[in-house]
């Protein structure tokens, strides 16, 4: 195990582990025209959507000056944006619940690029990672300026969907619709791409819901580029 993965293991010590646990169902509000999200709570009690009160899907979010707000579905994002003040109390409760969850930093809080495990600084008693030394310099000048981006630089998918091990932020797959899946090693990423349907439930147990078709499109694009037939690399490229 690399020294970096040892470090992030400490951050993920309270993670879902082998994905075993008690199922906790959310409230069913009978939303017209849409599916209930009550079955999304699997092994942990996920933070609640501020609009519906159902467990969130961490891939459905919107950025705010105080950090991301998570929702159960895209329709709730629209409702929230139409009247943020209406949901202020529910958002505060969500942020409290989110703060208690295990998480791993996977992106530079300034550029949004992949982090370099050798490039970090101490902030509030913890290591914060960056893509380059220039970003550290900018961050140190005014940390408060980047609070929202720092909050958004973490993932709550702390375990590899294939092995169950803690993730390595550099072992990442970017799906065709822009979502990211993290693994403990490149070998697990290859296994996942061969049969993503087999592992989707392991991601759902961590509050990440993916479209299998988008994963398969990304896999084809990745293969096409390697074969010299064009296409977009599904992996996140460091600048």
Per-residue pLDDT of 133-163, as tens digits, reads 999 999 999 999 999 999 999 999 999 999 9
Tokens of 34: 């849409």
Report d(CA 75, CA 77) in Å as an integer.
5
Residue 177 or residue 186, greater confidence? 186
Whole-structure pTM value: 0.68
Residues contacting 217, CB < 8 A, separation 6+: 175, 176
The pair of three-digit structure tokens given for residue 50, joined into one six-digit string? 């501020």
Query: Is-contact 8 167, C-beta < 8 A?
Result: yes
Q: What is the pLDDT of residues 25-62, one digit of tens each?
A: 333 333 333 333 434 434 457 899 999 999 999 989 99
Given a cut of 90, is residue 126 above it in pLDDT? yes
């Amino acid at each position: 195990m690399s020294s970096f993965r040892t470090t992030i293991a400490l951050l993920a010590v309270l993670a879902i582990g082998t994905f075993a646990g008690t199922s906790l169902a959310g409230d069913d509000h009978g939303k017209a025209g849409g599916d209930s999200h009550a079955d999304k709570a699997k092994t942990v009690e996920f933070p609640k959507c501020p609009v519906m009160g159902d467990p969130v899907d961490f891939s459905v979010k919107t950025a705010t000056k105080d950090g991301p707000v998570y929702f159960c579905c895209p329709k709730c994002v629209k409702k929230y944006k139409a009247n943020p003040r209406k949901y202020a109390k529910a958002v505060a409760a969500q942020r409290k619940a989110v703060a208690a969850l295990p998480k791993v930093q996977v992106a530079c809080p300034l550029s949004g690029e992949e982090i370099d495990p050798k490039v970090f600084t101490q902030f509030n008693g913890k290591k914060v990672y960056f893509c380059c030394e220039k970003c550290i310099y900018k961050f140190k000048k005014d940390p408060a300026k980047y609070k929202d981006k720092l909050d958004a630089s973490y993932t709550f998918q702390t375990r590899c969907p294939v092995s169950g091990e803690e993730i390595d932020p550099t072992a990442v797959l970017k799906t065709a619709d822009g979502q990211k899946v993290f693994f403990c090693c490149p070998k697990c990423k290859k296994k996942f791409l061969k049969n993503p349907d087999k592992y989707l439930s392991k991601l759902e147990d961590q509050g990440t819901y993916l479209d299998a078709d988008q994963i398969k499109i990304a896999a084809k694009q990745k293969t096409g580029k390697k074969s010299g037939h064009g296409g977009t690399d599904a992996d996140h490229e460091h600048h």
